[in-house]
Amino acid sequence: QVVSTCERYAVRRLPFARLGDGDVAFFERLMPGRVVTGEEEVKPFNVDWLKSVRGCSQLVLKPQTTAEVSQVLRYCHERNLAVNPQGGNTGLVGGSVPVFDEIILSTALMNEIISFDKVSGILVCQAGCVLERLNEYLEEQGFIMPLDLGAKGSCHIGGNVATNAGGLRLLRYGSLRGTVLGLEVVLADGSALDCLTSLRKDNTGYDLKQLFIGSEGTLGVITAVSILCPQKPKAVNLAFLGCQSFAKVLETFTTCRAMLGEILSAYEFMDEKCMELVERHLKLSSPVTGSPFYVLIETSGSNSTHDEEKLNNFLEQAMASGLVTDGTVATDEKKIKASHLRERITEALTHEGYVYKYDISLPVGKLYDLVTDMRARLGQSAKNVVGYGHLGDGNLHLNITAESYSHSLLDAIEPFVYEWTARCSGSISAEHGLGFKKKQFIQYSKPREAVVLMQQFKAMLDPKGILNPYKTLPSAP
């Protein structure tokens, strides 16, 4: 059952103006045929991907140009109407849906590729381009996007940048903070900030784009992105391994990094419970069975013979030293796609009932201890406690499932999970952001002085607080 966000979290609506007939008429004149008002039509935009929170917006706007976004925000700023920017709505922390009746500003129709330079590998596109479509376009030119996510079929590049999405390629290509070269952003008052540079080196003043990368739509609406794309690897190999303990998963990673070096592009781990859920709910079969832990290793390079030889040498070493008990290598495309079990875990978990999701950065040696401690703490009150993630980046996805939402179970999980993470000097959000669900816990990862400075940035760029209110930051005192 999807409970409205304001009911579940007992949050109070801020004194924004209420939407009137005159407002709707203005927007319909501005973008005829691209204003959504019917209750049923608006409903999908009000509910998050996990179906865990729900807003009460009565209006969805679908601009096609930066000029239209600018006019919308200028009008909303003058009228004191709150706005919820929304991309593909695949976020997992309640950041992409309204809390109350905020106007939803969807980038769905801002999906034009503006330019691509095959020499430099720099792509410029509108914010509403779907990640998978961009990757398909680039593959035809011999390039790929520097990020890959399970939600690639529906997430938008603007939303990826706004949340600083991590994903499966971060180990190889780094975060969006490094690959995004420039942004075009519309500020709360409607003024457009054109920092859409396509230069790899530009050392003139403050790097303003970094303010908006990861700001979750609270400081401005990203309308276009300039991003550096790597060449498509000529050879992609994938190994799926079974390990008998998490200590062996860590040792395997150390060996893997030493032996595979520059061709290592992903090192993912999952526990046996994750694999069981994927097999049961999605009817996918694991190429390796009977292990407490599984590891997915991806290599990508320019010479298939060289890469396969390195991977096979590594596997021989790992098996001979007892690090790995079973393993298989997939080199052809079909096998690689079939082995992408890791990407489907989130989907499998949704079949289990209600999911409490935690996305945490920890020192790699302690990564799985949190799962073990949480299992012991919750006992029979949770249906499942599972852990998987990007071990190469120290990123754990802790998921706890129950038949339905329970406030007492949430109390047993929070703030325990954040206190545990803080004690290890970890981050309470590695890649999903804070959104609505995690904003009140920011102090577990950031000092008070940093939070105050963030609030000052927000007040300067959005003095009326109309952009994605109730998200990312605790209310300023």
Report the first-to-last Cα separation within the chain, whole angstroms.
34
Residue 449 CB partners (closer than 8 Å, separation 6+): none
Hey, where are the domains in the chain? 5-106, 113-228, 235-347
> Looking at the domain 113-228, which fold is it?
3.30.465
- Which tens digits make up the pLDDT trace of 357-392? 999 999 999 999 999 999 999 999 999 999 999 998
> Looking at the domain 235-347, which fold is it?
Alpha-Beta Plaits (3.30.70)
- Identical fold, 5-106 and 113-228: no
Question: In a 10 Å sphere around its CB, with 0-12 CB exposed, 13-18 middle and 19+ buried, how is residue 47 labelled?
Answer: middle
What pLDDT sits at residue 317? Answer: 94
Q: How far is CA 268 from CA 57, 127, 241, 330, 420, in A?
A: 38, 29, 10, 15, 23
- Nearest CA-CA partner of 436 in 76, 19, 55: 55
Judge whether 132 and 152 are in contact, CB under 8 Å. Answer: yes
Q: What is the DSSP track for 267-283?
A: EEEEEHHHHHHHHHHH-
What pLDDT sits at residue 4? Answer: 66
Question: In a 10 Å sphere around its CB, with 0-12 CB exposed, 13-18 middle and 19+ buried, how is residue 140 labelled?
Answer: exposed
What pLDDT sits at residue 285? Answer: 81
Give pLDDT < 70 ranges for the chain: 1-8, 331-339, 476-477
What pLDDT sits at residue 476? Answer: 66
89/385 Cα distance (integer angstroms): 25
- Which tens digits make up the pLDDT trace of 252-297? 999 999 999 889 998 999 999 999 999 999 888 888 889 999 999 9
Tokens standing for residue 417: 């999970």
Decide the pairing of beta strands 103-106 and 83-86. Answer: parallel
> Looking at the domain 5-106, which fold is it?
3.30.43
Residue 43 CB partners (closer than 8 Å, separation 6+): none
